[in-house]
Amino acid sequence: YPGLIVFVFTACAALRLAKFNIDDTQRTEFCGLPSPAAAMLCGSLGLLFETDGLELPREAIPAIAVVVGLLMISNVRMFALKFHGFGWKGNELRYGFIAAAVVAVVLLRTYAVPAIIVLYILVSLVRGLACRSKGCGKAE
């Protein structure tokens, strides 16, 4: 069963990368969770579980890997940290996310990586829902 989970995650990552290479709408945002973020989340949780005493049921990490794999191939729009100049206007979300990530690193230390990736997913989901309810079309 662990081999199947690894296969599903890897297959989703391959599909995600293939989709990214042919989809030219992903210049300012991503369609689906970027595979490096997915790998960092699963890898950091596994590492924290084995070395730092992260208390999760053993089945939680493979389940998270499947959910993250499905997020990689989903149509959920995820914001990118691609800045449009260095001014505040148009980059508010990016600067706010970086500030939150710095705070997470200071407060959570080794647990910051999975927390930041989960924050990235949640912010992207909330942003997508807010944009959809406002009828703003394609998100910035």
Would you say 116 and 39 are in contact if contact means Cβ atoms under 8 Å apart?
no
pTM for this structure?
A: 0.89
Please tell me the predicted confidence (pLDDT) of residue 140.
Answer: 44
Domain ranges across the chain: 2-134
Q: What is the mean pLDDT of the chain?
A: 91
Composition of the chain by helix, strand, coil, percent to 5:
65, 5, 30
* Confidence check: pLDDT of 139 > 60: no
Other Cβ atoms closer than 10 A to 135:
6
pLDDT tens, position by position, 2-52: 678 889 999 999 999 999 989 888 888 999 999 999 999 999 998 998 899
DSSP state of 59: T
Residue 70 pLDDT exceeds 90: yes
